[in-house]
Each structure stands twice: as structure tokens, then as C-alpha cells.
Structure 1
Amino acid sequence: MTPEPTGRLVPTATGHDLILARTYKASADDVWASVTEPERTARWFGPWRGEAAPGNTIEVQMLFEESEPWFAVRIEACEPPRRLAVVTQDEAGGWSLELLLTETDGTTELRLVQHLTSTEQLGEIGPGWEYYLDLLTTSRTGGPRPAFEDYYPAQQAYFESLA
């Protein structure tokens, strides 16, 4: 079964925001721990090392990518358990990302926002985030890990059509 893409593209003053969301029956504190504690991020994205604080750069490993690369992540803002803003940097360039959490009646919505200056690679970026957010969900529920092949290239045309 191919997962349905959920991402949407919103124009901004400097480009576009790619926004993807997931909802969890959990407190914002618990979801925050899933996206900030290295033992828990290792379950769905990869571990990180360094001293995490606004203005600092940590290193994050992508465990579910070929060669499991490490890359630099500069923490721009950290407002537990509501907002984490980072800029990533690797040999492919840099990305500006935010994780925004909103809790209502014991349910938390997590929104991943990637601030884009170009939509050129949207067909690759979107399916990747859908995959990683579903990995986050399965890390929290214990369900079977999704296969990347179910996301890319299956969702590529959807994301390209958003631009």
C-alpha cells in the first residue's frame, strides 16, 4: 500500500514553505522528547551529538540513508515543547527547518516546515519528509517500519505538482 502524500506548499515573502503534519494522541512534552532526545531521534531519524542550545551546532546522523552520514545542524531557536528551528548544512547545501507542536486536549499536532527559496527539488524533498515523519510515527507506535520505495518515486509527481 502506497502512503498518501500530505504535504502542502505555501507561498512566503522569500519563497515557499513546505508543510507536513502528523497528529499524535500524546502530550506535546512526549512528542517533543521524540524529536529532541538523541535516544529517541535514533529510532526514526538518527542520533545526535554535541551541546544542544540556541546558537550552537550539533551533529546528526541519518541512520536510514546510504552510508549513514553525519551532518551539521545549527540550532536557531529552541522553545520546548513548542518550537525548534534549525539550519542544516552538508555537502548538498543548507536547509532551514522548523518543528512546531500544538497540543489540544491531549492530542499534539507536529508540523514540519521547510523554508524553501526554490521548489526545484520538491519532488525529492517532499517524499523524503513523508517517509521520515512516518518513521517517527512507527517509532512511537511500534508499527512496521515503512519502505522508502513506497514514497519515492511514488509521491514525486504529487510534490512536483504543488510547485
Structure 2
Amino acid sequence: MTTLTPDADKVIPTGRIERVDGDYVLAFDLQLDYPRSFIWSLLTEREKVAKWLGILLDDWAVGHAYELDMDGGSASGTVLQFNPPLSLQITWEDELGDESLIEWRVLESAGGTLLQFRARTESTDFLTEGSAGWQTILEGLEAVAAGRNPDNSTDRWTPLRDAYSREYSLSPSMGSLRQESGHPAVHFDRLLDADRDTVWSALTEPEQFARWLAPGELQLQAGGAMRLDFPNYSLDGDVSYVLNGQALEYSWSSPEVQESSVHWMLSSAGSKTLLQLNHVVRSPAKLDLLLAKWHDRLDALAVLLARGEVHPSAHRLDALTRFYRRAVGTGAPEDQRS
């Protein structure tokens, strides 16, 4: 199902992201050379569902809640339709509280089966991640249908996420851990719906960054001082690099990490701006919490740029922290520790 380009290390999305009545719909259409009844059994029989999706704690039943244990993650919701052997429709709530509507339709086609998958959501949050995730999950279903185990030996998810982002001009949501000169670095790419000058102002003007990051001051020159006043502490740092409208770097010391630096880079992407954040850590750090807090604040920046009101949520931050703790642990991997 994953399509390789001639470069052999890139992938092409096989799903489509469409706008329908103001919502986003992720659509896959899989032609499978197996009987309809067999494909239906893969969707509905718990021992078969466990091979490609997750451990279903009870049978699907209309109007009943369900829970899925998915390799350390989880999902839950309610079964809305169960029409053998045609359709299964469920609500889907992940561990961050993001909701979508999922539907599988199983149709006879060309001597085999056409499996249609649709996921509908109101928000772009995790849309590129979810698209890549569902593509790899459906690849797993195809493998199980063919009598094979799903191939989890290579990371197809990351290039797929980036491919969906490029194909549909949507921003990734998740942060990741990288290496910078032997030190772990928290990294985010966000595609923001604003021009570069507007984003630069939001990063550098105190009256702007007070609304999404924290109140404070910033002297926009090399050697200048910066200060951020968070609810429980103040952060002081020094500006080490400025390239007006494009790049900014300053030192950072907080309860999550004592010795570190934050590097922002902006580049135009049509009418949008690609923001890249690298937070390089040079002392022991709670990287799960650092990822969660930056994720939360970058979400707030996007809200501000959309001229919305930022409303901090402790519940959302707690959910993000649990999410990143499961994804990366509380610190850097052993080969990334300073």
C-alpha cells in the first residue's frame, strides 16, 4: 500500500484528505483480492482485530462503548453502526481527547472486496500524524489478510507524516527528539497560516508573545537580554543570534532544563510560514514535559495567528505530557544523553 518513489526512501500518501461541510475527511479505498466475508471478519472478530489494530476489550455492539489497547496507546468510543457484512461506524477518541468519526464499508468489487475507510474530524490537530498512522494500520490489515505479520521493522510513519503535510499543505503537530552537536534537542515543525513578518512579530514583540508564551521583554540584538515571566518562575536569558525576520536564538534556563538554547527559524511557504523550533538541551532535562509544553504553546501561537483567544488548559497539558512520556520517555535515549 505504501508507494515508494524512485529515491526508494520516500513514500507517497495513498489516502486523500478532503474538506466536507467544514470538516476534514481522510479517505482510503483498498481493492483487496479476498472474499467480502473474510475482510468483514478482519474488522469484527476480536482475535483478528488484535493482529492489525489492537486488543478490543469487548465485541462491537451498536450503542455500546468500546476500548482498544493499541501497543501502549489507547482509543475508545461508541459503536454507532454495525451492519454485517457492509458497514461498521464508530466514534474515536484518542488519549489526548481528540475525537473523530470512523467508518469502514465492505463492498463486493471486481471479484474481490473494496474496503472503504473514512475518518472525519473538525480539527487539523494531528491530522497529518493520523493520516500516516491510519495508512500504516491499513497496511497491517493488508498484511494480515495475506497471512503475514505487519512489518514494523522500519519507520514508515515519519516520512508518511511529512508527505501528507507536503501534499495537503497541513502542519504536523507532534514534536520529536533530535541530536544537535551531541546533545538532545526538542524539535517542532509547524506550518502556520500567516506570512513571515506576522509570525516574526509574534515571536519577538513583547505585547505579542505575552499572549501565547509568557509576558516578558526581549532586546532584539546579539548580546541582548530576554526575560519571560511564567506563573511560577521567571526565566532570564541572553540573545545569541538574530537574523531579522528569519532566525533568532537565545539561552534558556527553566525548571525543565537548566542549560539549553532555543533556536527559531522561519521560512516562507507560499502564503504560509514554516516555523522550525530547536530547543537544544545541554543538561539533564524532563524532555517529555518540555515537548508537551512547547506543543501546548505552539498550539496557542496558531490560535493567536488565527485571531482567536488563547485559553490555557491544564487538562490538555497533562494529556500531552502523558502522551510524550509514552512516546519518548522522561529523558533522552541513552545515546543522546550529554
Range class of TM-score, shorter chain: 0.7 to 0.9
Moved more, 1-10 or 22-31: 1-10
Indicate conservation of the 8 Å contact 2:74/2:95, yes or no: no
Instruction: Give the corresponding residue for 2:92.
Output: 88
In 2, Cα distance between equivalents of 1:117 and 1:87: 13
- C-alpha displacement at 1:74, in angstroms? 0.7
Counterpart of 1:71 in structure 2 is 75
5+ long unaligned stretches in structure 2: 1-7, 171-338
Larger Rg: 2
Partner of 1:58: 66
Judge conservation of contact 2:141–2:150 (CA < 8 Å) in 1. no
The letter of the residue matching 1:22 is L
Give the Cα separation in 2 of the matches to 1:132 and 1:62.
11
Q: 1:4 to 1:71 in 2, by over 3 A?
A: same
Structure-1 residue corresponding to 2:143: 138
2:41 to 33, 39, 44: 33
Q: Which runs of 5+ in 1 are unaligned?
A: none
Shift in alpha-carbon separation, 1:47–1:144, aligned structure 2, 3 A: closer
Runs of 4+ in 1 over 6 A off after TM superposition: none
Does the CA-based 8 Å contact 1:6-1:20 persist in structure 2? yes
Measure, in 2, the Cα distance between the counterparts of 1:158 and 1:110. 23
Q: Give the C-alpha shift of residue 144 in structure 1.
A: 5.2
How high is the TM-score relative to the length of structure 1?
A: 0.86
Q: Which amino acid aligns with 1:82?
A: L
Q: Does structure 1 conserve the Cα–Cα contact (< 8 Å) formed by 2:12 and 2:163?
A: no
Q: 1:55 offset after TM fit, Å?
A: 0.6
1:154 Cα deviation after fit? 0.6
Q: Which has the higher contact order (CA 8 A, sep 6+)?
A: 1
Contact kept? 1:98, 1:114, Cα under 8 Å: yes
What's the CA shift for 1:127? 0.9
Residue 25 of structure 2 aligns to a residue whose secondary structure is strand
Cα pair 1:52 1:75 within 8 Å, conserved = yes
Counterpart selection for 1:113 from 112, 118, 123: 118
Q: Is the 8 A contact 1:130 1:151 kept in 2?
A: no
Of 6-15 and 136-145, deviating more is: 136-145
RMSD of Structure 2 on Structure 1 (CA): 2.0
Overall identity of the aligned pairs, in %: 23
